[in-house]
Chain A
């Protein structure tokens, strides 16, 4: 019944532990439908406010989270988001790892290009999100799944 069980995704990726050294808290949320995207946005906002991100940086992070969560559901067939509080010395940040068991991204270069879409969208989700955060990493394997880790640090 725990959130951890509900949001467990079989795709094994080292991105899940990408910021393990800086991580002081982790909240795991399932991403199955529309309402989960709204729920995630709310939690990301709370984390971003808690560490004192500026309003513009909050908005950028939440927007990136919204795009990537939608991708996880739409292209990955659902999955999970792991929302991390990061502390690196005096620096604080919010990290999110999106993970799914979907078909994977076949051509990553193409998928990151603005305007490219396989799903009838605008093709801004992946490339656009990358511009909105400070750190952006993808681990994707055809037939296994996709994991995307993003971080926004407080300036």
Chain B
């Protein structure tokens, strides 16, 4: 089955979404990430969406849900690299990703996670 790879780095999980995801693939990623947080005792999740040229309500909801699930499992989520055109569209669509932390790029996202984890 088609899957998006999740990399582990210390107590962080890294995901780079590089394909145009259909809905089932997005759901699989949400489930996989939640499982890996527990299995790897991860404290942080970094999702890089810089290669995504579209975030619609389904993908937006997947991101929000993942962040909420991570939170109740004692892990923080940061979404990084959103393209400006995607941000404009997302807000006009009515999605604000409430409760999801964002950073401009992977480096800033890592810094944000590091700070929040007090390392």
- On A, residues with C-beta under 8 Å from B are 34-35, 37-38, 41-42, 45, 55-56, 58-60, 62-63, 66-67, 70, 114, 121-122, 124-125, 127-129, 131-132
User: B7 contacts the other chain (Cβ, under 8 Å)?
Assistant: no
The interface residues of chain B lying within 8 Å CB-to-CB of A42 are 20
Minimum CB–CB distance from A128 to chain B (whole Å) comes to: 4
Q: How far is the CA of A111 from the CA of B74 in the complex (A)?
A: 37
Task: Flag B31-52 by CB within 8 Å of A: 1 or 0 each.
Answer: 0000000000000000000000
Contacts of A66 in B (CB 8 A): 54, 56, 58
Cβ-neighbour of A70 out of B23, B86, B88, B93 (below 8 A): B23
Query: What distance in Å separates the Cβ of A101 from its nearest Cβ neighbour in chain B?
Result: 21
Q: Do residues A124 and B89 form an inter-chain contact, with CB atoms below 8 A?
A: no
Q: Chain A residues near B86 (CB, 8 Å)?
A: 59
Provided the pairs A56-B85, A59-B53, A124-B57 are in contact, do residues A38 and B20 lie with their beta carbons within 8 angstroms? yes
Give the nearest-CB partner of A37 in chain B. B22
Contact check: which of B23, B55, B83, B93 meets A131 at CB < 8 Å?
B93
Chain B residues with CB under 8 A of A127: 94
- Please tell me if the beta carbons of A56 and B89 are within 8 angstroms of each other in the complex: yes
Number of interface residues of B (CB under 8 A): 25
25 contacts between A and B (CB under 8 A): A34-B24, A34-B25, A41-B54, A55-B85, A56-B84, A58-B85, A59-B53, A59-B85, A59-B88, A60-B88, A60-B89, A62-B54, A63-B54, A67-B56, A67-B93, A70-B58, A121-B58, A122-B57, A122-B94, A124-B57, A127-B94, A128-B57, A128-B94, A132-B92, A132-B93
Chain B contacts of A55 at CB under 8 A? 85
Which residues in B have some Cβ–Cβ distance to A below 8 Å?
A: 20-25, 53-58, 60-61, 83-86, 88-90, 92-95
Do A56 and B57 form a contact, CB below 8 Å, given A122-B95, A132-B93? no
Given A37-B23, A66-B56, A122-B95, 6 new contacts (CB under 8 A)? A59-B86, A60-B88, A122-B94, A128-B57, A128-B93, A128-B94
Q: Measured between alpha carbons, how far is A107 from B21 in the docked complex, in Å?
A: 31
Chain B residues lying within 8 Å of A41, measured Cβ to Cβ, are 20, 54
